[in-house]
Structures are given as structure tokens and as C-alpha cells.
Amino acid sequence: MNNFSKARDRLKMCIENMRRGKARYCEGDYSDAVFRIQLAVEDACKAILSFLGIEFRKTHFPSVIMGRILSNRQRMKKLNLGTEHVRYLTLIISYASLLETQGSMPRYGWETEERIILPSEVYTKEVTKELFNSAIESINYVIKFFNSFKDLPSDLLSVVEELDKVVFDAVKELRKG
């Protein structure tokens, strides 16, 4: 499997989780919506890492890896990324990190000494909408990142285009209320 096919497959997983996140949001299952969009953003970031040929272990914090790469001059020189790419990566990291820091809270809640605060108590419609907006911003920059490369393989380009449509649909849904 090459870098392009791994990036394509990660973006496909991102699409699946964005769709699931939107569906859960519409159903009022806000904690699961957050979990799904968190996975979507992680997969979008991992798609970029794969595309760039960067090997990584399983992680729920791919934006941290991206940040380390941006701060490593030798690595950046090898990648030969332009100013535009660096700007996109920086913006992706800033939005993605907010979702990544949710950790396991969307699934398991927040344990205190007295009780466990349920995910449904943490993730209200308003909180979820804000996190969804961060996911959309991050993924929009992922789309711009990929679209800034000329001559993407057609199968990867078609997945990027599909992701753009999925994000557009999510934006429409969030605007409804």
C-alpha cells in the first residue's frame, strides 16, 4: 500500500465518521456525535501524515505529531512543503487539537470523587455544535491542503471531493439549528 492509497483510505474513514457524527447530532445523541467527529478529525490528520510518507504508531493525537514535524527544520526541508502548506497544517492543528483533547470523555464521561458525570451531561447541543464547527474548520483545511497539490491521483482526488460534499452537508445541518 502506498502513501496515496493510505491517505485515500483514511479520508474514507473520515467521511464515514463525519456522516455518523452528523446523524448522531440530528438524533440528539450529542456525546456520540462528538466521538464520531473526533474520529473523523483524527483520520483526516492521519491522512495527511500518510500522504507525506510519515510513519506513526496508533495514536489519538495525530495533530501533536504534525506539530512536531512543523517544528523540526530538517524534517520540513525533506518534505519540501511551501508556505501555503505550512499555514494549512498550522490551522488544522489548532482546530484538531480541540477535538483530540476530548479524549475518552465522549464515551465514558468524567469521573469525579463523588460521581461520574455522564457524557450526555457534558455534551449539550450547544457544546457539540461548537466542537462540530471546529471539526469542520479543521477538515476544510485538510481539503485545502490536498487540493493545493497538483496531479493528485484521481482516486484520492475523488475522495477529497466527496469529503468536501460531506462537510458542506454538515454545515447545512448545523445552520438549521
Q: Where are the domains of the chain?
A: 3-176
E-assigned strand segments in the chain? 110-111, 116-117
CA 21 to chain centre: 12
- Which fold, 3-176? Four Helix Bundle (Hemerythrin (Met), subunit A) (1.20.120)
Kindly report which listed range (30-34, 64-68, 152-156, 173-177) carries the lowest average pLDDT score. Answer: 173-177
Give the global pTM. Answer: 0.91
The CA R_g of the chain, rounded to the nearest whole Å, is: 16
What sign for the dihedral angle of Cα 151, 1, 155, 145? negative
CA 38 to chain centre: 6
In tens, the pLDDT along 46-94 reads: 999 999 998 888 877 888 889 998 888 888 888 888 889 999 999 999 9
Residue pair 39/23 in contact by the 8 Å Cβ criterion? no
Separation of alpha carbons 5 and 12, rounded Å: 10
